[in-house]
Amino acid sequence: KLQIISLVFSFIYGILIYFLLELLDKIIFNNKIYVKLIFSLVFSLFVSVIYFIIMLYINNAILHYYFFIMIVLGYLFMRFVYTKLFVK
């Protein structure tokens, strides 16, 4: 049961990452390269720490490679849906 909850959460987290990356791209679009680098680093750390904290709550932070695969699948799924529905 914990595995399924963790897999579903990872998939949804991948979708959330897609939206957050779109927002980050809009925020730092015209900034200088060092500002983009700093924002990207902070964003990556933030997303990683939040994921770890939530996984700590769900299943004592036992991480498996297939959780990360589900994050990537969630991201790719949302990218596919977003480009099909909203980008022309």
pLDDT of residue 88: 62
32 vs 78, higher pLDDT: 78
* pLDDT tier at 64, thresholds 50, 70, 90: confident
Q: If you average pLDDT over every residue of the chain, what do you get?
A: 89
- Rounded average pLDDT over 29-56: 89
Q: Provide CB contacts within 8 A for 83, sequence distance 6+.
A: none
Does residue 87 sit in helix, strand or coil? coil
Model confidence at 28: pLDDT above 90: no
The answer to whether residues 47 and 14 touch, using CB atoms and an 8 Å cutoff, is no
